[in-house]
Each structure stands twice: as C-alpha cells, then as structure tokens.
Amino acid sequence: MFKTNEYFEGKVKSIAFKDTESDATIGVMAEGEYEFGTSKMEVMTVISGKLKVKLPGCNCWKEYGKYDSFTVQANKKFFVKIEGESTYICRYYNESDCGCGCNCS
C-alpha cells in the first residue's frame, strides 16, 4: 500500500504510492539545503512553497513555485534550497514511458 520515507534527519518526509500514471511520492521539505540522487527519471511538481533548484549540468539556481515542474534524468544528482516549508509530488518514470514531452527516449 503506502510506504513512508524520511531523509535528512526528518527534514524531508514523503509517502510513496502507485497510481495508473506512475510510481510517485508526495512529501514535505523543511527549510534547508539538500542534495538528491535519482535512480529513475523524476518529474517533480511543487504543490506549495518555493524550491530553488540547481539541476545537473547547470551552474545556476532556478526558482520553482506552486504548480511548476522540473525533470531530472536517471542517475543524476540535483540540489534544492528551501527558505520555508514546501510540499511536492514527484513522479518516477522509465525514460521510455515518461510522457513528459521531454524527448527522453
């Protein structure tokens, strides 16, 4: 059914689930700076708050607000800065079936 995850000494928590579209997590992040690694392609959408994100291969930080999404390819690292609590949904895809329009395959 559901699986709960906790990272960074409890500052990031999520609940994993599967629906008809993909495997996914929905979670919360407390104020802080985090480094995440991917094993599958991830499409992350901000639900509330703001995330400042440094994507792989990029030297700049970009801010994502409510309902903004970004994609990170499999086996990459990315960085997130949060100045207040934020919520998100993250969907996990095999690159061949992501449906994100990013021409991944």
Distance between CA atoms of 102 and 30, rounded to whole angstroms? 29
Domains and CATH numbers, the chain: 3-93 (2.60.120.10)
Which residues have C-beta within 8 Å of that of residue 32, sequence separation ≥ 6?
8, 11, 81, 82
Residue pLDDT, tens place only, 89-98: 999 998 655 5
- Tokens of residue 89, six digits: 């949904």
Residue pLDDT, tens place only, 14-67: 999 998 889 999 999 999 999 999 999 999 999 999 999 999 999 999 999 999
The pTM assigned to this predicted structure is 0.86
